Amino acid sequence: MDSLSAARWLMTLALVFHIVFAAIGIGLPLLLVIAQRRWLKTGQDHLLRLARKWSKAVALLFAVGAISGTALSFELALLWPGFLEKCGGVVGHIFGLEGFAFFLEAVFIGLYLYGWDKLSPRAHWWCGVVIAVAGAASGVLILGVNAWMQLPVGFQTDAAGNVTVTDPIAIFKQYGWLTMAMHSTLACYMAVGFVVAGVYAWGWLKGRRDDYHRAAIRIAMSVGVVAAVLQPVSGDLLAKFVFKRDPVKFAAMEGQFHTERNAPLRIGGIPDEQTQTTPWSIEIPGLLGILANWDPKTEVPGLDIAAPRADQRPPVALTHLSFQVMVGLGFAMALVGLWYWLRVWRKKDAALDSRPMLWSIVALAGAGLVALEAGWIVTEVGRQPYVIVGTQRLQPLVDAGKAPWMSADMSGYPGLLTRDAATTAPGVQAMFYGFVVLYLLLGVTVVVLLRYLARSDISPVCEPRT
């Protein structure tokens, strides 16, 4: 394994690990706030027990996420000096904004944990609201870095090609950042909602049929299903942005090798770059044009024009399959979620009598996290071989006259290849193996502590101050 491959694999491992805790840091505080709010309104003991247990899980997973996030920041500096040298001046302050939201969340987690019997009920609940808002803000702000890498704006370059900021919040004014922020945030709420619902549905199947488990499932499914139903809307908006901004990624996502009108939407299939086809896929004629631009007759650029050379293309099969996994699991969760709420509407408290429905919720418990990881594979792998997308990526389309919108949308930044951003220093392989051990230790620790927390009895605290 050479240094570039080791750097790529280590960054992949770090993101795969950290994204789980970032998603939980966004989604679980919202469930916590809902449970405590319902307790404040009803005074029901089982809702207080839920809020207390979930608060301990939030604190534990936040701590592990802080460790993995710190490791990720070191890896970014050590493995990708070319990226920071060229563009650190325009994305560094975005990391700072995310750090502010992170520290705000940390402060209020402390207030929340130690304020059960020291703050008034409403003041304590508002601490939880700040945790939920700060967690979501942290995720939304850090997406500004990723969005800038796909849509570089608000900068000027010097003779050496280094980028300095001219408008610090330029990326946050862009439609692309907004669509990515909506899609990613909804994905986190959906993933965490189904994880929590699956855990308590398993408990229900094992015979723990009480108000505590019923309330946990209902709260989790309320968040998960709302997010799952809204997600296709945000996904459609994001797909249209990707079509206009990065047709190469769009073609790879869809296994679209040839430029054509009335292009089909493909369900399944494995792209074959040798034959330039996507065999074993189900094709729906014209639907890809609607997904791209609301018109089935839209000419969809294929890889034959958008990236005629093999070294200009991302790994097509991996990008396409990851996209299919993300979309398929998203629709599966939406359908099961609607099934649950239909039973709640018709059967009320007897909604959980359906074992097939409960097993479906359990089966999809980790589906949201898998879909989230698959979505990040699409985002990161789909823009290869570039780490920052620029005019070089789109030049074949512009030269072919197939992308008239590009002239008004381009920033002028040529782009940065991944290989040019990576370190050339020795020892990356040893660093990779060292971080593998770290992530294994963190993962085992989290599993052990979560199992202990799940088995521990959380009795209500003494009555808070009024």
pLDDT tens per residue, the chain (466 residues)?
788 888 899 988 989 999 999 999 999 999 999 999 999 999 999 999 999 999 999 999 998 888 888 888 888 888 898 888 888 888 888 988 999 999 999 999 999 999 988 999 999 999 999 999 999 999 999 999 999 988 888 888 877 767 788 888 889 988 889 999 999 999 999 999 999 999 999 999 998 889 999 999 999 999 999 999 999 999 999 999 999 888 999 999 999 999 999 999 999 999 998 899 999 999 999 999 998 888 888 889 999 998 888 888 999 999 999 999 999 999 999 999 999 999 999 988 888 889 999 999 999 999 999 999 999 999 999 999 999 888 888 878 777 776 655 444 455 678 889 999 888 888 888 888 988 998 999 889 988 988 888 887 655 444 444 4
Global pTM reads 0.92
Tokens of 323: 């996209």
Domain map (residue ranges) of the chain: 1-173+428-466
Alpha-carbon distance of 22 to 3, in angstroms, equals 28
User: Based on the number of CB atoms within 10 Å of its own CB, is 407 exposed (0-12), middle (13-18) or buried (19 or more)?
Assistant: exposed
If DSSP codes are grouped into helix, strand and coil, which group holds residue 127? Answer: helix
Q: Please say whether the beta carbons of 450 and 60 come within 8 A.
A: yes
pLDDT tens by residue, 320-336: 999 999 999 999 999 99
Backbone angles phi, psi at 170, to 5 degrees: -60, -40
Q: Please say whether the beta carbons of 187 and 233 come within 8 A.
A: no
Residue type, 230: L
Write down the residue that tokens 């018109």 correspond to. 295
Tokens of 438: 């770290």
Alpha-carbon distance of 332 to 403, in angstroms, equals 35
Rounded to an integer, what is the distance from CA 64 to the centroid of its chain?
Answer: 18
Alpha-carbon distance of 255 to 270, in angstroms, equals 8
CA distances 91 to 88, 215, 298, Å, are 5, 42, 35
Write down the residue that tokens 């992308």 correspond to. 403
- Which residues does 194 contact at the CB level (< 8 Å), separation at least 6? 220, 224, 333, 337, 361, 364, 365, 366, 367, 368
Alpha-carbon distance of 404 to 402, in angstroms, equals 6
User: Based on the number of CB atoms within 10 Å of its own CB, is 291 exposed (0-12), middle (13-18) or buried (19 or more)?
Assistant: buried
Per-residue model confidence (pLDDT) at position 154: 85
Residue type, 464: P
Alpha-carbon distance of 282 to 268, in angstroms, equals 6
User: Based on the number of CB atoms within 10 Å of its own CB, is 466 exposed (0-12), middle (13-18) or buried (19 or more)?
Assistant: exposed
